[in-house]
Amino acid sequence: MDDIRTLSIEAPGEIAFIEEKSGTLEPGTFRVETVYSGISAGTELTYVKGTNPYLHATWDSALGLFTEGVPSIEYPVRGLGYMQVGMVTETRTAAVREGELLAMAYGHRTGYVADPLKDRFVELPDDLDPLLGIYVAHMGPICANGLLHAAADLHGPAVHGLGDGVRGRRVAVTGAGVVGLLTACFAIRHGAAEVVVVDETADRLRIAEALGARTVHENPAVTLKERWRHAPGDRGADVVFQCRGQARYLAMALKLLRPQGTVIDLAFYPSGADEVRLGEEFHHNGLSVRCAQIGRVPRGLAHAWDRERLSYETIELLRGRQDLRRHLVTDLVGFDEAPALLTDLAQGRRHAVQAVLAQEVED
């Protein structure tokens, strides 16, 4: 195989491809050629913009704190991205077969040499659109983990299924990006009584409606609390999944909740949160905010709900929603276009729900 090309953020706003050696195929390893590579228009753009906290502080994993010091990540930033589908082109391990399609998370590269003892991979079934495979290794589990946190919030460690926190309940989702839309689809699949998506963008709300959710744009807190009544003085969403990394969406999520409800927060906030007013609904309605960061599942559930199970749940969702490709994938471009695409996304000149890099772009 020829040398691979790797996307590199050289400095804020400076994006290029660099050539790297493809690596020797040692015994026990295998080589993949990238078929699709999905772009996260949230986390990845914080590196393009220079706003990611890892670029400005030291992450002390022992203390769980960001502290002053040498930044944990410095430019150039390479290997960015976590939504890859690769085809096995050569193997020296029985763990995979040549020609298999695998979901992995090795960054925006045209190829990769993997060690099955170090690199996570998920074989994609034949009956799944391979483009949707970009969600199997990481993005889908992010959303499934949100539902798992909702289930644990209601049942503690006695969770039997992914739908235990949404089945029969009124669910709101704030933010209609990929995380919000996939989370809404998970909630619909697992029996939520009603799923309403809240966002400011009309095009994204149309996608949410096409995927089977209801939507609210204007005055959502009043609208939903008029609609969702539980008892006198008890109105609003049973649970809210907050899926957009802007403080005003977290503030809105708190307003949507019924008393003593919980926001399951899947968002990453690169800035502050001045718009979150803890003395208002949060205090007076006795609310909770629970972070569902993908680095961990709820306490007491790790033995039963590892990343592999979350990927399996993702595959089951995608198998039943092949329409997701039509509704979510708004931009499919060749690898050569990636620097310009990321620059335009970061500067707001272009908007995408899901952008995907492809080795071969279909007509």
pLDDT at position 340 over 70: yes
Q: Which of 287, 304, 202, 196 is nearest to 250 (CA)?
A: 287
- The token pair that represents 169 in the structure block: 């309940």
pLDDT at position 1 over 60: no
Q: What is the pLDDT of residue 21?
A: 86
Q: What is the pLDDT of residues 262-296, one digit of tens each?
A: 999 999 998 888 899 999 999 999 999 999 988 89
Q: What is the pLDDT of residues 327-337, one digit of tens each?
A: 999 999 999 99
* CB atoms near residue 254 (< 10 Å): 26
Reported confidence tier of residue 77, pLDDT bands at 50, 70, 90: very high
CA distance 119 to 3: 20
| Average of per-residue pLDDT across 208-232 | 96
Q: What is the pLDDT of residues 128-168, one digit of tens each?
A: 999 999 999 999 999 999 999 999 999 999 999 999 999 99
Q: What is the pLDDT of residue 277?
A: 92
Cβ 198 vs Cβ 216: under 8 Å = yes
Q: Cα–Cα distances in Å, from 188 out to 7, 147, 195, 360?
A: 36, 11, 7, 33
Q: What is the pLDDT of residue 72?
A: 93
∠ at Cα 325 (324, 331), nearest 5°?
Answer: 130
Q: What is the pLDDT of residue 218?
A: 87
Paired strand residues for 19: 5
Reported confidence tier of residue 339, pLDDT bands at 50, 70, 90: very high
CA distance 310 to 126: 19
Q: What is the pLDDT of residue 23?
A: 79
pLDDT at position 361 over 80: no
| Average of per-residue pLDDT across 22-38 | 94
Backbone angles phi, psi at 320, to 5 degrees: -90, -5
In this structure, are strands 354-358 and 329-334 parallel, antiparallel, or unpaired? parallel
Reported confidence tier of residue 363, pLDDT bands at 50, 70, 90: low
Reported confidence tier of residue 22, pLDDT bands at 50, 70, 90: confident
Q: What is the pLDDT of residue 3?
A: 87
Q: Counting every residue, how long is the chain?
A: 363
| Average of per-residue pLDDT across 5-31 | 92
Reported confidence tier of residue 362, pLDDT bands at 50, 70, 90: low
Kindly report the pTM of this predicted structure.
Answer: 0.95
| Average of per-residue pLDDT across 38-49 | 91
HEC profile for the chain?
Answer: CCCEEEEEEEECCEEEEEEECCCCCCCCCEEEEEEEEEECCCHHHHHHHCCCHHHCCEEECCCCEEECCCCCCCCCEECCCCEEEEEEEEECCCCCCCCCEEEECCCCECEEEECCCCCCCEECCCCCCHHHHHHCCCHHHHHHHHHHHHHHHHHCCCCCCHHHHCECCEEEEECCCHHHHHHHHHHHHCCECEEEEECCCHHHHHHHHHCCCEEECCCHHHHHHHHCEEECCEECEEEEEECCCCHHHHHHHHHHEEEEEEEEECCCCCCCCCCCCCCCHHHHCCCEEEECCCCCCCCCCCCCCCHHHHHHHHHHHHHHCCCHHHHHEEEEEEHHHHHHHHHHHHCCCCCCCEEEEECCCCC
pLDDT at position 306 over 90: yes
